[in-house]
Amino acid sequence: MSDLTRRHFSALLGASFAATASPLFAPRALGQAKPKLVVIGGGPGGGTLARYVAKDSNGAVDVTLIEPQKTFTTCFFSNLYVGGFRTYQSLTHTYDAIGKSGVKLVHEMAAAIDRDKKQVVLAGGQRVPYDRLAVAPGIDLKFDSVPGYSEAAAEMMPHAWKPGAQTELLVKRLNALEDGDTIVMVAPPNPYRCPPGPYERVSMFAHVLKTKGHKKSKIVILDPKPAFSKQAVFMEGWEKHYPGMIEWQDPKVHGGIKSVDPKTGEITTDLGSYKAALANIIPAQMAGKIARDAGLADASGFCPIDPDNMKSKMDANIFIVGDACIPGDMPKSAFAANSQAKVAAMIARADLTGSRAFPARYNNTCWSLIAPDDDVKVGGAYEPGDGNIKQTSTFISKTGEAADIRKQNYKESVDWYNGIVADVFG
Ligand SMILES: Cc1cc2nc3c(=O)[nH]c(=O)nc-3n(C[C@H](O)[C@H](O)[C@H](O)COP(=O)(O)OP(=O)(O)OC[C@H]3O[C@@H](n4cnc5c(N)ncnc54)[C@H](O)[C@@H]3O)c2cc1C
C-alpha cells in the first residue's frame, strides 16, 4: 500500500469507524477456527470464486461473500433484452444457491480494506477479518471522460453499462422512438467491459427499429477508437440486415466529442452536431472504487495481477478477478471473470488448506447477436507468459459465413448463458 493510501485509510478509520468498529466474525484463534476467505463483489468473478472455494474445500475454508444487492442482474445478455429476445426477469438471479453451497452472505457494501490488519470494513463499520481476500467489484464509470456527461445526465442519456435501472431506462426510451428519430451512441475508449458489447447493442437497436418499420431512423456511433471488436462481421451484418441505417464514425471522421447536453439531447463533435432522440453515452471505465481506494490499482485505474494466480501485484494476500483487474490479452467479460475466478479459487484453496494447485489456464468466448439467428463470436485460450496473461490460440467469425454456422453460434451463446448462470447462481 502506498503511503498516501495508508494515510488516506487511517484518516477514513479515524473519521468514521475506529470508535465503533467491532469484528463481525470473531478473529481466528490459532489452531482452532477455519482459515478465512472473504470475497468482495458477487458478480460472475466474486460469485464464482466464493462458490468454488466453499464447494471444493468441503467446508474446510470459511468463505464470506460481501455484496450489497440481494439479486444480481447480468449485464451479459442485457443487449438481448434491448432487442426483445429476453425478459429482464430472465437476467436476474438470487444468491440462494451460493448461500446453500456454504458461503456466508453479507448483504452490505464494503467501505474499505484495512490491508495491515487484514480486515474488510463494512459500510456499517463492522470489520470482517480475512486470511485471503478476493476483490471483484467490477467497474466504475468515468463520467467526466465525456464533456457534459455526469451521473445526473445519465438519467436523460443512459449509459446502461451497469445493470438495473439504467438498462430499463434505455429500453423504455428505445421503445418510445418514432420513425425518423436519431439514436446516437458514444462508444467507450479501451479498456472497457465487453469489447463487442456496444456494437451488439447497436445491432439490437437496429433490429427493434426495423421490426417497427422505422425506415427513416438513423443510428450514429461516435467512436473514440479507430477500430473495434469483430468489426468486419458487424459491418457486413449491418449492411445485410439494416442497409443505410447505421453510421459508424471513427475519430478521424468526427474529430473528437466536444460536448453532450442532456437537456437538449445535442451531441457536438469537431465536425458537427447531432440531435439525438435517444443518446446512449458509454464513458471510459476504471476498477470499482473499493479496489482503487485500497491502493490495488495502478495509474490506468485498473488492478495489476500476477498471471500465475490472479493475486494482486500490490498485495499477495489479495486476489483480483473480473473487470477490475488488468487481464493481459483477455477481454473484460463475464466469461473471462468466471475463468479467472476458477484459477483464483484453486490457488486460494491451496494457500489455505494445502491442496494441490495446477498451472493457470484461462478461456474466453464473446458471442454477439447481429440479427435473429445471425450470431458471431470471438475467443481464445490464454496462459501466463511474459508477466501477463497471454493468448495462446484464437478464433473469430468470418465474413460470408453460412447461415447455419451463425444460427449454431446463437444456440451456443444461449447454452453458454444458461451454463454460466447455473455455475455461479444456479
Ligand atoms: C451491455 C453488456 C453486454 C455484455 N455482454 C457480455 C457477454 O455477452 N458475455 C460476457 O462474457 N460478458 C458480457 N458483458 C461483460 C460482463 O457483464 C462483465 O464483464 C462482468 O459482469 C464482470 O464481472 P465482475 O464480477 O468482474 O463484475 P460485476 O458483474 O460488475 O460484479 C461486481 C459486483 O460487485 C459488487 N460491488 C461493487 N463494489 C462493491 C463493494 N464496495 N462492496 C461489495 N460489493 C461491491 C457489485 O454490486 C456487483 O454485484 C457485457 C457487459 C455489458 C455492459
pLDDT exceeds cutoff 50 at 9 = no
Res. 316: pLDDT tops 70? yes
Q: Take atom 19 of ligand 1 and give the residue whose Cα is closest.
A: 333
- CA dist 142 → 11, 16, 299, 409 (Å): 25, 26, 14, 33
Does 27 have pLDDT greater than 80?
no
Question: Which atom in ligand 1 lies closest to the alpha carbon of residue 162?
Answer: 53
DSSP run (H or E) holding 104? strand 104-106
Distance 394 CA to ligand 1 centre (A): 24
pLDDT tens for 35-88 read 999 999 999 999 999 999 999 999 999 999 999 999 999 999 999 999 999 999
pLDDT digits 0-9 by tens, 175-209: 999 999 999 999 999 999 999 999 999 999 999 99
Does the CB atom of residue 288 touch ligand 1 within 6 A? yes
Residue whose CA lies nearest to ligand 1 atom number 6:
76
Helical axes 231-241 vs 197-211, angle rounded to 10°? 0
- Choice between 7 and 177, residue whose per-residue pLDDT is larger: 177
pLDDT band for 22, please (50, 70, 90 cuts).
very low
Q: What is the pTM of this model?
A: 0.93
Name the residue at shortest CA distance from atom 52 of ligand 1. 75
User: What percent of the chain shows pLDDT beyond 70?
Assistant: 92
* Average pLDDT, rounded, for the chain: 93
Ligand 1 atom nearest 332 alpha carbon: 19
For residue 72, the ligand 1 atom closest to its alpha carbon is: 49
pLDDT digits (tens, 9 = 90+) for 359-376: 999 999 999 999 999 999
pLDDT at 25 > cutoff 70: no
Test site for ligand 1: of 162, 289, 333, 416, most ligand atoms within 8 A of the Cβ: 333
Is any ligand 1 atom within 6 A of the Cβ of residue 46?
Answer: yes
Closest CA to 233 of 16, 23, 378, 348: 378
Q: Is 34 exposed, middle or buried (0-12, 13-18, 19+ CB in 10 A)?
A: middle
Contact criterion met (CB below 8 Å) for 185 and 220:
yes
Calculate mean pLDDT across residues 116-142: 98
Angle at 367 (CA atoms; ends 364, 370), nearest 5 degrees? 160
pLDDT in the model for residue 98: 98
pLDDT score, position 227? 98
Residue linked to cell 425506415: 215
Query: What's the farthest any 2 CA atoms get from each other in the chain?
Result: 72
DSSP 3-state of 186: strand
Residue 20 confidence (pLDDT) above 70: no
> Across residues 151-165, what is the average pLDDT?
97
CB of 69 within 6 A of ligand 1: the answer is yes
